[in-house]
Amino acid sequence: MSFERMWQDLGPVGRSASSGGYFRQPFGSAERECHAWFLEECAARGLEVESDGNGNTVGWWRAGSGSSVLTGSHLDSVLDGGAYDGPLGVVSSLAAIDLLRDRGFVPSRPIGVGAFVEEEGSRFGLACLGSRLMTGATTPEAAQELRDRDGVHLLDAMAAAGLDPQLGRGTLLDDVGVFVELHVEQGRDLVDRGAAVGVASEIWPHGRFRFDFTGEANHAGTTRMEDRHDPMLTYAMTALAANKQARLSGERATFGRIEAVPNGTNAVPSRVTAWLDARCETDESLTRMLAEIERLGQDRAGRDGTALSVTPESVSAAVGFDADLARRLAVDHAGGDWPIIATQAGHDAGVLSAAGIPTAMLFVRNPTGVSHSPAESAEIADCLVGVEALADTLERLAG
C-alpha cells in the first residue's frame, strides 16, 4: 500500500527534534516542502495540478465528465502539532486514488485531491484561510490585512515563498459537485465506540477572540498590592471565569496563547494580550458564553482599575453536514455501519459546506483522542481502513 511509503516520506518534514511535534506554518520552509512533496506525488500519478492565487492546490484525475468529486485536506499544522491533523487526509486521498486504480475503477466524473493552505490559522490567525478565500467567505481585502506575529503581511509571506498571490475565489471549486474530507478524529468518540471509521454530522460553532487587558506598569517590589492596576490579575481572573463558564455549560473555553508587555520578571505589566478559543453547541450559546466571559472580565477590570477590550479574530458558525450524504456514506459496509458523530474541531470541509457544496467528513480513530499535540496518534491499521473507506466513498460518489 502506497500509504506507508508516503507517510514515511512526509514524517520528518517540519518535525521538531526536541518535542517530536510539527511546525509546518504556512509559507514557511517545512510547509513549502510538504507542498512540493504533494506536487511530486500528484505528478507521479498523472494528476493534473491546478493552483489558485491563495496557495490552495488540487491534483485532478481527469476522467468522465460532469461535476467533480473533491477530496483532500490540509498540510499545515498548529505550533508543535501532531503528524495526522491534516496530512492524514491528503496522504489517504492519494493512496485511495492508487487503490481505486488497483481495483481497475474508472471514474465517471473527475476526482480531485486538494491541499488547502493555512487551515489552522496558526500563522495569520484566521482559521481555514485558504478555503475561506476560495469560497469567498473571506475577502481578499480582509485577508491582505492579516499579519503574523513578526508583523509580516500575508502577501509578503506568500511572495517570499515564491508565490504570486492573487487572493480571491479563483476557479478551483468550479464544477465541484461534492467534497469529502478524511481526517483523524480529534477526540475519543470512535475509540469509545470501538469503531475505526466514522462520518461527521456537524461542527460546533467556534471562534477565536483577542482579549486586550491594559493596566499600569510599575515596580514589582515597591508597589503595594492595593496600589496596583495589574492586567495580569484581570487576565487570570477572566481565564478562571471562562473555565468555569465552559464547565457549567459542558462546552469549551481555552486561553492557550498569551503575551505580556514588557514581559519583565520584576515589573507589573502594562498590558496583557490573551486569545480565547471558544466552542459551543449552538451559535446562540457561543454568543451567550462570550458575552458572559466578557462581562465577568469587565467587572474584574473595574475592580482592578484596568481596562479590557475584546476583538473577534476568527468566527465559524455552526455547520450541519449534508445529512442524506452522511447517511448514504455511513451504511452498508463490511463490519457494519459507520457511526455518525459531531465534532468540535473546525475543518475546511466546514467552510465548503457553508459555501453550499454538499460535503461529508470521514473520521479515522484516534486511540487517545489527543490532537494539536506531538502525542497525536492513529494506528497504521486504522489509517489503512481509512484509505479503504475513502476509496469506497469515492467509488460511490464518482462511479
Q: How far is the CB of 127 from ligand HGY (least distance, A)?
A: 6
> Of residues 72-101, which lie at the interface with ligand HGY (CB under 6 A)?
85
- Grid coordinates of 306: 484596568
**Minimum separation from the CB atom of position 98 to Mn ion (A):** 23
Q: How far apart are CA 91 and CA 47, in angstroms?
A: 14
170 within 8 A of 52, measured Cβ to Cβ: yes
Residue 13 sits in the site that holds ligand HGY (CB under 6 A): no
Cα–Cα dist 371/153, whole Å: 28
Q: Which stretch binds ligand HGY (CB under 6 A): 43-51, 119-127, 166-174, 267-275?
A: 119-127
* Residue 46 to residue 44: CA distance in whole angstroms: 6
H helix or E strand, kind and range, residue 51: strand 48-51
Contacts of ligand HGY in 271-290 (CB under 6 A): none
Q: Are 127 and 319 in contact (CB under 8 A)?
A: no
**Footprint of Mn ion on 76-105 (CB under 5 A):** 85-86
- 119, 202, 304, 376: which one contacts ligand HGY (CB under 6 A)? 119
Beta carbon of residue 181, minimum distance to Mn ion (angstroms, whole number) = 9
Looking at residue 149, what DSSP letter applies? T
Query: Burial letters for 279-293: b for 16+ Cβ neighbours within 10 Å, e otherwise?
Result: bbbeeebbeebbebb
Nearest to 69 by CA among 107, 105, 103, 101: 107
Return the residue of 30, 47, 126, 127 that touches ligand HGY, per CB under 6 A: 127
Contact of residue 86 among Mn ion, ligand HGY, none (CB under 5-8 Å per partner type): Mn ion
* Residue among 31, 52, 120, 304 that touches ligand HGY (CB under 6 A): 120
Question: Nearer to ligand HGY by C-beta: 157 or 345?
Answer: 345
**113: its cell numbers:** 485531491
Q: Which does 346 bind (CB under 5 to 8 A by kind): Mn ion, ligand HGY, none?
A: ligand HGY
Number of residues near ligand HGY (by CB under 6 A): 6
Near ligand HGY by CB under 6 A: residue from 55, 346, 350, 386: 346
In this structure, what is the dihedral angle of CA atoms 347, 143, 298, 302, given to the nearest 10 degrees?
A: 150
Q: Footprint of ligand HGY on this chain (CB under 6 A)?
A: 85, 119-120, 127, 345-346
Q: Footprint of Mn ion on this chain (CB under 5 A)?
A: 85-86
